[in-house]
């Protein structure tokens, strides 16, 4: 899988590159619109991460060009301009997703994988880890033949962990992903703990080959046993 | 009391006093003149009588006023020597009027031959009564006339003169710094008003521009913080995945991460707040609050059930209001979030929706909040960790933007009430 990151903030670029490389993606980078144009003209990518505010132009114009040339790469806009207008404009121009800075790496990972899945596995939208199978179309998860009885949020938690397998998932990244802005305060950590506890119980009862491990103070990690 | 009426009432009081004093003086003067002329008449009459008495001693025996206006009777020498002339008012029975009428009386003595006589001469002063009446009447007329003309002048001329002032006042009354409106002053030929106009224009211009630049500053600052925050958080996330870290080091990183995330949330809130204030949510649609709260209730279901809280929604009527839907959602979710965060475990949250109001109340043992400061930014409640005290400020700013009143009351329960304005359709 090949990913192109277009971002003029070098630190930001390096972070994303390092993180995605750990996921075994082939990552290429561009720091300007012109550099990006050159690369896109030569290679094809599975996913492009596109910043809007670039030194030599707007990411939107690049996005328009890409769509005109009918380039099928998946595109995620990554922008510090978290305004509804930008988001709508980006999505209307054909971007697959819009991610506002600052974001958690786990969130970026989940978004990239979602885009890749939508592009690559048309029709067969299932993820398997050990004896766990997550069916994205049906919103179901099963262990072996046994269907897990998960509510909507529990399914989302599990999916987020599955997208970030073996990666450390920050508690607030998880909270923001599943509950949005609603749970950004107060005893949210205790709340997340109790949600995870329920999910773990269900996985354990079904004899799952995966485990959600707690990493003290930070969050959790999904590992295959 | 209005300025115009105020001056009128002052004029009325002063005129009343002045006209009163003037009337008294005028009346006394007139009276003096009248008496003077009456007394002169009596004096003249006296001379004539004395002269007549010399030629015609018969009249020296007139003891009453029957057919004339004088009486003469002899008096002793002794009394005559000590007698002084006197003018006085008295009453006398008038045959024609059949009642007592005031008359002016002159008593004097004169010597005819060797004898002294006492002479009383009267003259009618009936007209003097009428004079006082006339005077009072015309005084009242004058007073009413003056007051009326002052009121009229105030209303016609003064109002015209003060027009720029009242125009300015009217605009200042409705002026709100956040609303980004302009004050249009009415040009005047009066120097003071022109000075007032230019000064106010200058002051408001300064306020508006500093308010705008402050808003812009907050937005820019918050915006510029996003990237460094993102970089820092992401670097720490990468660092903490490092296998070589021991648990103590991980905990340290975790603590830094937590604080950075807190900073990010606060920054996001500030950014949102300044975006609302900078009118960056122009789209509006008819939002049905009853439906919106049902959606939010679902979103908060997990959090509420975690605290074993029950959210009761009572819909008395459909509540619709034209506003930005995203902001409506933020407004309600901030109020609901606040109620869940600060509510007691296992208590109930009650929401009542009527056609013009939305009320949410929760039970808490913290006692009343400071009603003056509850919607102020960074008004922290130390008992709840992680709350940045900006959620209610955002709710308040949104409500204010759409002319909705947001009030907090405490009567055993914390209660937030949104009152929607009547819409003329």
A70 Cβ neighbours under 8 A, 6+ residues apart: none
* Share above pLDDT 90 across residues of chain A, in percent, rounded to a whole number: 29
Provide mean pLDDT across the span B367-372.
Answer: 75
B185-241 pLDDT, tens digit per residue, is: 778 888 888 898 889 889 988 988 888 888 788 878 887 888 899 999 999 988 988
Partners of B92 in beta bridges: B101
d(C-alpha B320, C-alpha A4), whole Å: 46
Q: What is the number of alpha carbons within 13 Å of residue A67 lying toward its C-beta?
A: 14
- B8-49 confidence digits (pLDDT tens): 788 778 888 888 888 788 878 888 888 888 889 888 988 888
Question: Is the model's pLDDT at B358 over the cut of 70?
Answer: yes
Interface probe for B, chosen from A106, A185, A189 (most Cβ of B below 10 Å), is A185
CB contacts, 8 Å: B240 with chain A: 168, 215, 218
pLDDT band at B316 (very low <50, low <70, confident <90, very high): very high
For residue B199, give how far its alpha carbon lies from the nearest alpha carbon of chain A (Å): 39
Given this model, what pLDDT does residue B3 score? 75
B21-30, B333-342, B392-401: range with lowest mean pLDDT: B21-30
Distances B357 to A225, B235, B314, B412, B419 between C-alpha atoms, Å: 55, 47, 12, 20, 5
Given pLDDT bands bounded at 50, 70 and 90, which one contains residue A122? Answer: low
Mean pLDDT is lowest, of B54-68, B92-106, B324-338, B349-363, for B54-68
Round the average pLDDT of chain A to a whole number and report it: 86
- Strands A74-79 and A47-51, bridge-based pairing: parallel
| pLDDT at B128 > cutoff 70 | no
Is A10 within 8 Å of chain B by CB?
A: no
pLDDT at A27 over 50: yes
Burial class (CB in 10 A: 0-12, 13-18, 19+), B395: buried
What does pLDDT average to over chain B? 84
- Structure-block tokens of residue B380: 């922290």
φ, ψ of residue B72 in degrees (nearest 5): -135, 130
Least CB-CB distance to A182: which of B231, B337, B387? B337
Q: Once rounded to an integer, what is the mean pLDDT over residues B84-96?
A: 81
For B281, residues 6+ apart whose C-beta sits below 8 A from its C-beta are A84, B275, B324, B326, B327
Mutate to test the interface with B, among A27, A184, A213, A222 (most CBs of B within 10 A): A184
> Which of the four pLDDT bands, split at 50, 70 and 90, describes residue B425?
very low
What sign has the CA pseudo-torsion B374, B378, B381, B385? positive
Q: What is the mean pLDDT of residues A119-124?
A: 66
The span from the first CA to the last CA of chain B, in angstroms, equals 34
Q: Can you give the pLDDT at residue A199?
A: 92
Helix (H) / strand (E) containing A63? helix A59-68
Answer yes or no: do B254 and A218 touch at CB < 8 A.
Answer: yes
Chain A residues near residue B227 by CB distance under 8 angstroms: 9, 12, 80, 101-102
In chain B, pLDDT over 90 holds for what percent of residues? 19
* pLDDT tens column, B138-171: 878 988 888 788 778 877 887 788 888 888 888 8
What pLDDT, in 10s, does the model give residues B228-267?
Answer: 999 999 999 889 888 888 888 888 998 898 889 888 888 8
Residue B127 has pLDDT above 70, yes or no: no
C-alpha distances (whole Å) from A88 to each of A115, B33, B276 are 17, 99, 18
Ramachandran assignment for B292, one of left (phi > 0), alpha (psi -120 to 50 degrees), beta (any other): alpha
Instruction: Tell me, yes or no, if A17 comes closer than 8 A to chain B by beta carbon.
Output: no
**pLDDT(A111) > 90:** yes
CB A6 within 8 A of CB A57: no
Residues A125, A128, A131, A136, CA torsion sign: negative
Q: How confident is the model at residue A47, as a pLDDT? A: 92
| Distance of alpha carbon B71 from alpha carbon B136, whole angstroms | 36
Q: CA-to-CA distance for A23 and B11, rounded, in angstroms?
A: 90
- Asked if the Cβ–Cβ distance from B237 to A12 is below 8 Å, we say no
Residue B110's nearest CA partner among B64, B70, B69, B65 is: B70
Q: Which residue of B has its CA nearest to A221?
A: B241
Q: CA of B163 to nearest chain A CA: how many angstroms apart?
A: 45
Residues of chain B with Cβ-Cβ distance to A15 below 8 Å are 231, 234-235, 238
Sign of CA dihedral B130, B135, B140, B145: positive
* Average confidence (pLDDT) over B380-399: 72
Report the distance separating Cα A168 and Cα B12, nearest Å: 86
The whole-number average pLDDT for the span A120-144 is 81
- Specify the DSSP class assigned to residue B356: T
Q: Distance (Å) from the C-alpha of residue A215 to the closest C-alpha of chain B?
A: 9
Q: Where are the alpha helices (DSSP H) in B120-190?
A: 127-153, 159-173
In the predicted model, what is the mean pLDDT of residues B80-87? 84
Whole-angstrom Cα distance, residue B69 to residue B124?
9
d(CA B267, CA B221): 9
Confidence band, pLDDT 50/70/90 cuts, at residue A17: very high
Contact: A218, B265; criterion CB under 8 Å: no
This model of the complex carries an ipTM of 0.84
Of A126, A71, A69, A123, the C-alpha closest to A96 is A71
A60 touches chain B (CB under 8 A): no
CA angle B102, B106, B112 (to 5 degrees): 145
Q: Does B310 touch chain A (CB under 8 A)?
A: no
Residue ranges of domains in chain A, CATH in brackets: 2-120 (3.40.50.2300), 126-224 (1.10.10.10)
Half-sphere exposure of B207 (CA within 13 A, CB side): 15
Is B380's pLDDT higher than 70? no
């Amino acid at each position: 899988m090949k990913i192109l990151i277009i971002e003029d903030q070098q630190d930001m670029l390096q972070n994303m590159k390092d993180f995605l490389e750990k996921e075994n993606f082939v990552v290429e980078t561009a720091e300007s619109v012109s550099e990006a144009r050159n690369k896109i003209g030569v290679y094809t990518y599975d996913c492009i991460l596109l910043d809007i505010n670039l030194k030599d132009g707007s990411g939107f114009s690049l996005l328009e060009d890409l769509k005109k040339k009918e380039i099928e790469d998946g595109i995620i806009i990554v922008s510090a301009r978290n305004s509804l207008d930008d988001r709508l404009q980006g999505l209307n121009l054909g971007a697959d997703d819009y991610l506002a800075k600052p974001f958690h790496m786990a969130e970026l990972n989940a978004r990239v994988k979602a885009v890749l899945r939508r592009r690559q596995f048309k029709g067969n939208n299932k993820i398997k880890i050990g004896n766990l199978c997550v069916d994205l179309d049906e919103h179901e998860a099963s262990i072996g033949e046994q269907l897990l009885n998960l509510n909507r949020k529990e399914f989302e938690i599990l999916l987020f962990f599955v997208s970030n397998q073996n990666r450390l998932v920050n508690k607030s990244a998880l909270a923001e992903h599943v509950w949005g802005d609603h749970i950004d305060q107060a005893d949210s950590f205790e709340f997340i703990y109790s949600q995870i506890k329920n999910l773990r119980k269900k996985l354990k009862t079904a004899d799952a080959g995966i485990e959600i491990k707690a990493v003290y103070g930070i969050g959790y990690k999904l590992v295959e046993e | 009391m209005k300025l115009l009426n105020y001056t009128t009432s002052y004029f009325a009081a002063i005129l009343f006093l002045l006209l009163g004093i003037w009337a008294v003086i005028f009346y006394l003067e007139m009276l003096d003149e009248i008496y003077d002329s009456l007394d002169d008449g009596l004096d003249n009459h006296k001379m004539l009588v004395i002269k007549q008495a010399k030629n015609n001693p018969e009249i020296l025996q007139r003891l009453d006023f029957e057919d004339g206006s004088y009486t003469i009777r002899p008096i002793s020498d002794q009394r005559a020597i000590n007698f002084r002339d006197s003018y006085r008012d008295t009453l006398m029975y008038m045959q024609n009027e059949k009642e007592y009428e005031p008359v002016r009386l002159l008593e004097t003595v004169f010597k005819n031959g060797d004898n002294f006589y006492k002479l009383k001469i009267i003259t009618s002063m009936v007209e003097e009564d009428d004079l006082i009446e006339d005077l009072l009447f015309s005084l009242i007329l004058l007073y009413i006339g003056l007051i009326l003309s002052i009121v009229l002048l105030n209303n016609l001329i003064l109002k015209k003169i003060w027009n720029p002032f009242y125009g300015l006042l009217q605009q200042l009354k409705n002026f709100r710094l956040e609303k980004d409106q302009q004050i249009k002053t009415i040009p005047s030929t009066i120097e003071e008003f022109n000075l007032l106009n230019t000064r106010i224009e200058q002051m408001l211009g300064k306020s508006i521009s500093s308010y705008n630049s402050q808003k812009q500053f907050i937005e820019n600052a918050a915006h510029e913080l996003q990237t460094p925050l993102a970089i820092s958080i992401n670097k720490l996330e990468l660092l903490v995945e490092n296998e070589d870290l021991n648990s103590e080091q991980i905990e340290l990183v975790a603590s830094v991460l937590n604080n950075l995330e807190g900073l990010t949330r606060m920054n996001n809130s500030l950014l949102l707040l300044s975006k609302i204030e900078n009118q960056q949510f122009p789209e509006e649609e008819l939002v049905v609050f009853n439906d919106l709260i049902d959606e939010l209730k679902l979103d908060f279901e997990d959090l509420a059930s975690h605290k074993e809280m029950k959210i009761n929604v009572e819909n008395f009527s459909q509540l619709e209001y034209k506003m930005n839907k995203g902001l409506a959602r933020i407004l309600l979710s901030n109020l609901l979030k606040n109620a869940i965060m600060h509510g007691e475990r296992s208590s109930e949250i009650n929401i009542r929706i009527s056609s013009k109001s939305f009320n949410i109340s929760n039970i808490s043992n913290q006692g009343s909040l400071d009603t003056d400061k509850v919607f102020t930014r960074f008004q922290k409640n130390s008992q709840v960790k992680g709350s940045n005290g900006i959620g209610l400020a955002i709710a308040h700013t949104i409500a204010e933007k759409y002319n909705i009143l947001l009030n907090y009351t405490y009567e055993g329960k914390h209660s937030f009430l949104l009152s929607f304005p009547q819409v003329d359709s």
